[in-house]
Homo-oligomer: A and B are copies of this chain.
Amino acid sequence: VNQPSRFERLAAIQKVAQIDAFLFTAPSTVRWLSNYFFNFETGPSPFQLLPAALIVQPSLEMHLLIADNEALPAVAPGFEMTIVPYSSYVYEKPLDFTQQFLDTLYGIISRLTIKKTHLGIESGSLPLAVFQFLTRQFPQAKFTDVTREIAFIKAVKDRDEIENIRAACHLCDIGQTALLKHTQAGLTELGLFSLVRLEMESSAGTRIPVMADLVSGTRTATGGGIPTNKVIQTGDLVLCDITPCLNGYWGDSCNTVVVGTANSSQRESFKRINEALHFAIQAVRPGVTAMEIDSLMRKHIGNFPHHGGHGVGTQYHEEPRIVPGNGIELAANMVIALEPGLYNPDFGIRLEHLVLVTETGCEILTKFHHCFELIS
């Protein structure tokens, strides 16, 4: 597909809105345009005002501001990016990272050499402290929020983004395969999750953030939840939704398996949900609306109390949302999760694949098979 790259789409916004430079502060936007991923697994750093800030000029020259106590990323080939570390963690004197960050930011913005700077910003993630500093230093500066525009142009993925999502989907496959291998009566949900996560982290060679539902027995009826000490019993269903983040890009996948033998109602439900998933997959192609895909699944299995799917990228939930009423047309190189589910009072089943919209249909990015009854 000969689509404009995300940098070209960004430049188009810049031109239309007459913006002199963007100041991006949402970690998902910074990752999208740079190759910098701040691992959020242990919360906000006490040595940083912000995980990172990215300044993008009309020339698409970029400056990435990050704390010097973080691992500095390599600049990817083809990126016109300068990495500007600022002094963050120190033990020999009082912490001063906020001022260091602001002073470094000042240095970059003042070099824009535009008297009345017009900055495109993300007002949901720009801290007041940064805004107040900028308005003091550049009293004539103008600020325009571009959050909506960014969300919209993120929906279609570039080739390098798709490769990142493929790698995250490979981790989903490893996790879902580990689920089939390790699920057995007597393990706790946490114990099973630990085995699944270890195989994923071993494949990645490092710790990775993993959002996951892993519930068993009647806990599946609510559709999900965090694993607990509940012991998995023979006859339990185990619902496992694995959403890993690898290098800042997410994968997504869900399977439901039975420990032992399913009853006919469970078997019938699994079959219908699997059909709904594959009807949706077969219907995905450019020009179809998100709501059509959503409705197709609900028609086959009845309504369920969540989205039929969603876009995936540097956030685990992006446009296009596959929900009732969303008239957005699918386009080539969108990446969407499809996840029909059915929840009875005593059990729930959800099945999910992540797919890449192609010129003529879609490619399933998660390669594992939805297998319900385990062969022991």
Contacts and interface: CB of A to CB of B under 8 A. Distances in A.
B190 A201 contact: yes
A368 interface: no
A75 B69 CA distance: 38
Copies of this chain, whole number = 2
A216 interface: no
A211 B207 CA distance: 10
Interface in A241-297: 243, 245
B129 A307 contact: no
Interface residues of A, number: 62
A223 interface: no
Contact of A126 (B127, B194, B307, B323): B127
Given A47-B317, A91-B323, A307-B91, A209 B126 contact: no
Given A42-B245, A93-B325, A129-B145, 18 more contacts: A28-B44, A40-B41, A43-B245, A46-B316, A46-B317, A91-B323, A92-B323, A94-B325, A94-B326, A123-B128, A125-B127, A126-B127, A126-B128, A128-B131, A190-B205, A191-B198, A194-B198, A194-B201
Interface of A: 26-28, 40-44, 46-47, 49, 91-95, 98, 121, 123-129, 131-132, 143, 145, 188, 190-191, 193-194, 197-198, 201-202, 205-207, 209-211, 226-229, 243, 245, 305-307, 315-318, 321, 323-326
